[in-house]
Amino acid sequence: DNALVWLRRDLRTEDNAALYHALRAARRVWCVFVFDPEILEPLPRADRRVEFIRDSVVGVDAELRALAASHGIDGAGLIVRHGRPLQEIPRLAAALGAQAVYASHDDEPEALARDARVRGALADAGIAFHGSKDHVIFERDEVLTQGGGPFSVFTPYRNAWLKKLDDFYLSSYPVERHAGALAPKPAGETLPTLADIGFESTNLHALKLPSGPAGGRELLADFLERVDHYADWRDFPAVKGPSYLGPHLRFGTVSIRRLAREAHQRLTAGSRGAEVWLSELVWRDFYHQLLHHHPRVVGGCFKPEYDRLHWEHGKHADELFAAWCEGRTGYPIVDAAMHQLTRTGYMHNRLRMISASFLTKDLGIDWRRGEAWFARHLNDFDLASNNGGWQWAASTGCDAQPYFRIFNPVSQSERFDPEGRFIRRYLPQLAKLPDTLLHAPWRARPADLAAAGVVLGRDYPAPVVAHEEARERTLARFAAVKPAA
Ligand code: FAD
């Protein structure tokens, strides 16, 4: 039998579930990646994610060639198409004489709809479509409450997740052992350049974000050296604390089983850092299952009563939103974070919480506008995690904390960037202010500002909002919908 593996958010060969199942089932196996114009067309012409994917496609091609070569097969690799999967997948499967197409699950609503259409078109041609879990440790209905329903609170979910975890769920699919079924690519297949798919290069390579499966392995090895410190370091944006594996998890250039296994082994050996990091990977599963069970969170509040919240609208709100996007709010920690996002495509988790809280609770602007801005800029943008993170910060989601716990951007800044190392990196115009004044420059005496060469309103904006007043407005906004119990 012949089979085609359609790679999507699983851009690697190591421990790849769909590839493994195909190799086990068929005598000849090809792999394809499709650049889908429906996804690509709305994006700006220079987009780091597209470049990351294109690099990863090159990496997967090399991995497939090497895997096949280790079994004495020449000329294997990745087939790449640029077109609508609904046409491309059935056409290629038919041309290769494939009886089945294998793919890993993608549970985003639009991906599910796309897969249903592709499945139908394949069925019309007498070709089977097999999906399998690859992207998370537990998906869909695998972790449920005792009553058989989905969890909507994280801690009990994590407890149930950890209880269910065993070696079976952590072990890798031994793709290498079965790679003898990989078939050479048809003649004339080439890999497109970025320009071929209509894109320009970005600053991706200048950033310290190695791409492709090899880049994922490199970042993981680097992170495992410091994972024991994760619990202590992860909240400080100026410190190299987290793994930076976000985009690799998003595009599957690393295996979640491998990551969870590395963390679990160290946790068992007593590493507190590994325990906390594993817990972050559980958050990822948590938001994925939440999206699966409640697709209405796309565009709607998880807590439906908050769909009635009155967010700020109009010209002034639009100006505030623009100030937030462009890092001109006058709150240095927020502005530095927003510059990090647009310049690098990364934003530290602590800063995502602070800046999302600032937009929704200080500026009173609808979380959906911030969600969309992050979606456009984050290299690791993932619908489930981004939506979950935004709704958590806006108190419209599944956070166990009530809405009246509002982040104070100045005290967050003092606590998590005490020496202003992060702020100074992105706001050099404030570099000469003393550490204590950096978090709220408007509180500085004129003499201190003058000594640091800063004129508020010229070198750096005055604050666009007063936190204490904004806080009161937010409490009223929420109380109007749901009184604080
Ligand atoms: P690490 O700290 O090394 O964590 C490892 C991995 O665990 C991450 O790569 C991610 O896959 C997962 N993870 C960690 N924290 C979370 C979390 N809170 N929720 C879900 N998964 C988590 N994460 C995304 O992957 N994509 C997003 O679009 C996204 N948007 C967010 C928006 C907001 C408003 C907030 C508050 C958080 C968001 N996060 C998102 C979660 C988190 O900020 C990032 O996963 C993390 O900062 C990525 O950096 P890292 O890979 O170095 O993380």
Share of the chain above pLDDT 70, in %: 99
Residue 114: per-residue pLDDT: 98
Residue 325: per-residue pLDDT: 99
pTM over 0.80: yes
- Alpha carbon distance 221, 248 (integer Å): 13
Residue 404: per-residue pLDDT: 81
pLDDT over threshold 90, residue 201: yes
Residue 39: per-residue pLDDT: 96
The 10s digit of each residue's pLDDT in 156-188 is: 999 999 999 999 999 999 999 999 999 999 999
Is any ligand 1 atom within 6 A of the Cβ of residue 64?
Answer: no
Q: What is the CATH topology of the domain spanning 136-172+214-293?
A: 1.25.40
Residue 484: per-residue pLDDT: 61
CB 75 within 8 A of CB 185: yes
Residue 166 neighbours by CB under 8 Å, 6+ apart: none
Residue 399: per-residue pLDDT: 75
Residue 208: per-residue pLDDT: 82
Which among 208, 380, 396 is the best mutation to test ligand 1's pocket, defined by most ligand atoms within 8 Å of the CB?
380
Q: Which atom of ligand 1 is nearest to the CA of 245?
A: 51
Which among 228, 289, 349, 354 is the best mutation to test ligand 1's pocket, defined by most ligand atoms within 8 Å of the CB?
349
Q: CATH 1.10.579.10 region(s) of the chain?
A: 304-480
pLDDT band with cut points at 50, 70 and 90 for residue 400: confident
Mean pLDDT (the chain) is: 97
Longest pairwise C-alpha distance within the chain: 80
Q: Which atom of ligand 1 is nearest to the CA of 243?
A: 3
Residue 485: per-residue pLDDT: 58
The 10s digit of each residue's pLDDT in 8-41 is: 999 999 999 999 999 999 999 999 999 999 999 9
pLDDT over threshold 80, residue 478: yes
Residue 398: per-residue pLDDT: 87
Residues with a catalytic annotation lie at: 280, 283, 311, 349, 367, 390
pLDDT over threshold 80, residue 454: yes
Q: How far, in whole angstroms, is CA 331 from its chain's centroid?
A: 26
Homologous superfamily in CATH for domain 304-480: DNA Cyclobutane Dipyrimidine Photolyase, subunit A, domain 3 (1.10.579.10)
- 38-43: list long-range contacts, CB under 8 Å, 24+ apart: 38/84, 40/197, 40/198, 40/199
The 10s digit of each residue's pLDDT in 229-270 is: 999 999 999 999 999 999 999 999 999 999 999 999 999 999
Q: How far, in whole angstroms, is CA 43 from its chain's centroid?
A: 17
Which among 280, 289, 367 is the best mutation to test ligand 1's pocket, defined by most ligand atoms within 8 Å of the CB?
280
Q: CATH 3.40.50.620 region(s) of the chain?
A: 2-134
- Alpha carbon distance 36, 379 (integer Å): 18
Is any ligand 1 atom within 6 A of the Cβ of residue 374?
Answer: yes
153: three-class secondary structure by DSSP: coil
CB 356 within 8 A of CB 465: no
Q: ipTM strictly over 0.85?
A: yes
Residue 443: per-residue pLDDT: 97
Rg (CA), the chain: 24
Residue 197: per-residue pLDDT: 97
Q: CATH 1.25.40.80 region(s) of the chain?
A: 136-172+214-293
Assigned CATH for 2-134:
3.40.50.620
pLDDT band with cut points at 50, 70 and 90 for residue 103: very high
Is any ligand 1 atom within 6 A of the Cβ of residue 78?
Answer: no
pLDDT band with cut points at 50, 70 and 90 for residue 315: very high
- 81 φ, ψ to 5°? -125, 155
What is the distance in A from the centroid of ligand 1 to the CA of 48?
17
Share of the chain above pLDDT 90, in %: 97
Is any ligand 1 atom within 6 A of the Cβ of residue 169?
Answer: no
